[in-house]
Amino acid sequence: MVADRASQTSTGPLAGVRVVEFAGIGPGPFACMMLADMGAEVVTLDRIGAKRNLKAIAARGRKWVHVDLKNDQSKGELIELLSGADALIEGFRPGVMERLGLGPDVVLTRNPRLVYGRMTGWGQHGPLADAAGHDINYISITGALAAIGTRKSPIPPLNLVGDFGGGALYLLVGVLAALIEARKSGKGQVVDAAMCDGAASLMTMFFDMSAAGDWVEGREQNMLDGGAHFYGVFECACGNFVSIGSIEPQFYALLRQHAGLLDPDFDDQMNRAAWPTLKQKLAAVLKTKTRQEWCEIMEGTDVCFAPVLTMTEASRHEHMVSREVFFARHGVLQPAPAPRFSRTPSRVREPEEMPLAAVVGSWRDRR
């Protein structure tokens, strides 16, 4: 229930894990939101005077602390806080933490078990390490952006591939793996999570397909990039869209059955040369009915079909409602924690602002 998700009780699988986050934007906060959802105690450090919207989705579940890193007393308290932490997350350019006197060499000396998570776009070393950039730049040099879009040009896939897929989630995997190892060895380590590394890793399947001769470089020419007539997005009579993913022969047969594709040209499903023509023919058929009409015909079948929904529509879809995939907090619609745990469920806790000294004292009491 939504009320349970708003509980201040930490019940997730990471309950008892202490994380210090240096405030940033994008993938770092998203990763720490997930850690907090899963029960970790996340303390976010922000500069004095910084304005924070604690109702923001990515801010949920944290303790927020304002700290002056130029103040020796505050810096000393911060070092003590890090001495009791399991993990640190920072997303500054390489060298910034070192200049603050909080680099791995300093912090790991005080707390040898600490996992030091570093989130950047280009990584901690390399010719571009010190350059500014954004998601679109990081996925550009991996081959990912060149493969996404229309024949005419690449299209940025939101910030899903670089910031969150190749960034935040790889940071999470690295930090959690290092935490598990630290419990065995008693030693922490630095996790260098670079979005260009993660985005490249996400392309593994397509490098594999390329090596096997099943992928050509060029958009809308392959099975999974919009080139195939049986895997793509099509406009309906109402102006809305549906998605078709009928790859396997049995699913393709159902697509033909439900869409009435009797034309024998559809028999040769994997004939690449015929894909452009067959795509036009299928598009013409799907344009004859509204999205709702196609949902009534295909949704829930093995055609591999789904309506293309807006974020608002998605929150109202019966499947998403039944699984409580979305909920509202402070009037803000947002995704619920994922993944799900059978015994130690995640919870969304309210953020709270606290003095640094209070958090230090709390952690000291529980050592």
Token pair 């879809």 is found at 317
Residue 185 pLDDT class (50, 70, 90 cuts)? very high
Q: What is the DSSP string of 56-73?
A: SGGGTTEEEEEE-TTSHH
The whole-model pTM stands at 0.94
Local structure of 41: helix, strand or coil: strand
Average pLDDT over residues 264-274: 97
Question: What pLDDT was estimated at residue 240?
Answer: 98
pLDDT per position as a tens digit, 89-109: 999 999 999 999 999 999 999
- Residue appearing with tokens 């405030």: 23
Catalytic residue among 37, 86, 135, 163: 163
52 neighbors 25 (Cβ within 8 angstroms):
no
Whether the CB-CB separation of 224 and 270 falls below 8 Å is answered with: no
Give the separation between CA 278 and CA 266, rounded to whole angstroms: 7
Calpha distance 21→45 (Å, rounded)? 6
pLDDT at 5: 46
Extract the tokens encoding 48: 């004095």
Tens digit of pLDDT for each residue in 199-234?
999 999 999 999 999 999 999 999 999 999 999 999
Using CA atoms of 357, 359, 363, 366 in order, give the dihedral in degrees to the nearest 10: 110
List, in order of start, the domains of the chain with CATH numbers. Answer: 2-204+325-365 (3.40.50.10540), 231-322 (3.30.1540.10)
Whether pLDDT at 189 is above 80? yes
Q: Name the strands in the sheet holding 115-120, side by side, starting at the edge strand that comes first in the sequence.
A: 189-194, 115-120, 87-90, 18-22, 41-47, 62-67, 352-353
Q: Report residue 4's pLDDT band, with 50, 70 and 90 as the boundaries.
A: very low
pLDDT number for residue 51: 84
Give the model confidence (pLDDT) of 44-90 as tens digits: 999 998 887 888 999 999 999 999 988 888 889 999 999 999 999 99
CA distance 118 to 91: 6
- Checking phi first, is residue 193 left (phi over 0); if not, alpha (psi -120 to 50) or beta? beta
Dihedral sign of CA atoms 155, 157, 163, 166 in order: negative
Query: Which stretches of the chain are assigned E, i.e. beta strand?
Result: 18-22, 41-47, 62-67, 87-90, 115-120, 189-194, 231-235, 241-245, 305-308, 326-329, 332-335, 352-353
Dihedral of CA atoms 174, 180, 186, 187 in degrees, nearest 10, equals -10
Catalytic residue among 134, 192, 302, 317: 134
163 is annotated as an active-site residue? yes
Question: Rounded mean pLDDT of 294-298?
Answer: 98
Mean of pLDDT over the chain: 95
Quick one: average pLDDT of 129-153?
97
- Give the per-residue pLDDT at 367: 58
Q: Any catalytic annotation for residue 229?
A: no
Q: Indicate left, alpha or beta for 88 from its phi (over 0: left) and psi (-120 to 50: alpha).
A: beta
Kindly state the average pLDDT of the residues 294-299: 98
CB 218 within 8 A of CB 146: no
The CA distance from 266 to 270, in Å, is 9
The pLDDT of residue 3 is: 37
